[in-house]
Structure 1
Amino acid sequence: MRTEKEMFDIIIDTARSDDRVLAGYLKGSRANPNVPRDIYQDFDIMYVVKETESFRADTSWMNPFGKVILKQEQDDAYGYGERFGLCSHYDKTYSWLLIFEDGNRIDIGVETLETMKEGSNRNKLFLPLIDKTGCLPQLPPPTDEEFYVRKPTEAQFQGCCNEFFWSLCDVVKGILRDELPFAMTTYYAQPHHMLEVMLGWYIGSKTDYSVSCGKQNKYFKQYLPENVYLLYEKTFPDSSYEHFKAAIKTLCRLFREMAVLIAESLGCTYPEEFEQGFMKYTKAVSSD
């Protein structure tokens, strides 16, 4: 696998030798001083260019990066463009996700000077790599503060508790109907997600809301106490309904423990009535 220096040398040299490129900057985890370094990190690169069409029409300018073994483009069906609502305005910005045969990955985009000035493709994780025309903004050192866990309002806390127990009723219904796809998808999309929101608030409350849990909460193991993380692991069931029901019990236990602590930190009351409503529903439908 090529080293980080080798990759950056190629990225910068490619920009330097192409007259269409005005500047280039780094985004993402490699620009984040708080992220542990490893060989799996993407190189999130944006080139500021005179126009985007020629880059889309002929992608041979990517050849110096190496042999691509898997690629996804912004306008691919079911791809990241659809997920993030980016399937438009290709004359202003366009991007590619590239995986190379040595295991390195570059997520690279091109944007016009006007688009760069608008700042729609960047945040505070911004690190200039090359600026041939002096067009890049002078910004403070990169920081991930935009992604810190935010302290919830009481309304948000109550809403999270309500959604957790309300959506768990649908999961129970799916199990009773033997509708595994519905039950499992609902479980992860709604109540399990609400648990993760609550766990994020717990981490925030212990760190004065000054850390990020990372994309898809990938730093939970780093920030959660070991006993809490071990319980969290048990909330991931397999396709066995017996194991699924056990996971739901653990889910409810962990959610309640975390929610009570967050309620105390916010100076509000844990909504017992939501939990009791779920328990009564479960008992009523399971006794039929």
Structure 2
Amino acid sequence: YDIVNLVTDVEPFKDENYILSHFGETIITQKPEDMIYPPPVGDGRYNYNMQFIDGNRIDLSFFNMNRIGELTKDSLTEVLLDKDHIIPNLLDPSESSYLIKQPTEKLFNDCCDEFIFGLISHIPKTIWRKELPLLKAYIDVVLRKPLINMFEWDIGIRTGFRTSIGKGGRHLQKYLEPEIYKEFEQTYTDSNYDNIWNSLFLFYKLFKKTAESVAQEYAFQFPEEAGKRALEF
């Protein structure tokens, strides 16, 4: 559960003993704004991230009520209690804030550029140097992320942009054709450098096929020549 409290003063709610006394037994409680790893947000909020022994999880946040306009923009927001009647009438909770958005031509072009540049620049030299931790990080950032973005737009086209693939693409299997998803799974290789190298061609195959489908819908242009040079390189 993600529960947000709007208060006139956040400071009193930093009393951990008082707050936790209202809940059950926790396995662990995090207070992100008191931590340095990862760094706090530092915007005046205060949070308790609580994992309870019964399996429930609550992220409890306190914000100054002057943030009300910002915090009620999320389409999943549901008002549990408004004792001072200050929250405007909200639409019924929905996923509209998280639905796939249509790509602009520049966004599409930049996504293609990021993928092809990563394929030709970052990845091969890191394989050659056998820098496995950096290599795996690069693959996720410069290949997998653009590929998932392209999958997302293609799924949006096929569903009328009325769905979401979820955080990190966790619902991709639901929307991709089985053979496409199977190939996508195969891009998650082990630590063998030959297997990683071979997966790059599968990455490109999936990206090119999906990007061409998106490009056809919007009359965009997939950079065929740049992709061909990247493979030859």
TM-score, L = length of structure 1: 0.76
How far off its partner does 1:122 sit?
5.0
**Which residue of 2 is the match for residue 70 of structure 1?**
28
How far off its partner does 1:269 sit?
2.5
Partner-residue secondary structure (3-state), 1:69: strand
Match of 1:222 among 159, 167, 174: 174
How far off its partner does 1:154 sit?
1.8
Partner-residue secondary structure (3-state), 2:28: strand
Please list, as runs of the form range in 1=range in 2, the aligned pairs for 1:146-225 lying within 5 A after superposition.
146-169=97-120, 170-225=122-177
Contact 1:173/1:183 (8 A) holds in 2 = no
**Which residue of 1 is the match for residue 218 of structure 2?**
266
**Which residue of 2 is the match for residue 139 of structure 1?**
90
Partner-residue secondary structure (3-state), 2:2: strand
Partner-residue secondary structure (3-state), 1:127: coil
Q: Partners in 2 of 1:164 and 1:261 — Cα distance? A: 16
Q: Which amino acid aligns with 1:71?
A: T
Q: Partners in 2 of 1:232 and 1:137 — Cα distance? A: 44
Cα distance change of structure 1 residues 121 and 109 upon mapping to structure 2, 3 Å threshold: farther
Cα distance change of structure 1 residues 100 and 236 upon mapping to structure 2, 3 Å threshold: same
Q: Partners in 1 of 2:191 and 2:75 — Cα distance? A: 41
Partner-residue secondary structure (3-state), 1:190: helix
Q: Which runs of 5+ in 1 are unaligned?
A: 1-42, 282-288
Q: Which amino acid aligns with 1:239?
A: S
1:109-150 CA distance string (max 9 Å, x none): 11222222x324751211111222222221111121121111
Contact 1:94/1:109 (8 A) holds in 2 = yes
Cα distance change of structure 1 residues 175 and 253 upon mapping to structure 2, 3 Å threshold: same
Q: Partners in 1 of 2:49 and 2:16 — Cα distance? A: 16
Q: Which amino acid aligns with 1:161?
A: C
Please list, as runs of the form range in 1=range in 2, the aligned pairs for 1:1-288 lying within 5 A after superposition.
43-75=1-33, 76-79=35-38, 82=40, 86-89=41-44, 93-116=45-68, 118-120=69-71, 122-169=73-120, 170-281=122-233
1:179-215 CA distance string (max 9 Å, x none): 1122211111111111011010111110111211111
Q: Partners in 1 of 2:104 and 2:8 — Cα distance? A: 45
CA RMSD of aligned residues (A): 1.7
Contact 1:198/1:259 (8 A) holds in 2 = yes
Partner-residue secondary structure (3-state), 1:201: helix
Contact 1:74/1:87 (8 A) holds in 2 = no
Q: Which amino acid aligns with 1:137?
A: P
Q: Which runs of 5+ in 2 are unaligned?
A: none
Q: Partners in 2 of 1:55 and 1:122 — Cα distance? A: 24
Cα distance change of structure 1 residues 122 and 207 upon mapping to structure 2, 3 Å threshold: same
Q: Figure out how many residues of one structure are paired with residues of the other and give that number.
A: 231
Q: Partners in 2 of 1:104 and 1:58 — Cα distance? A: 19
Partner-residue secondary structure (3-state), 1:64: coil
How far off its partner does 1:252 sit?
1.1
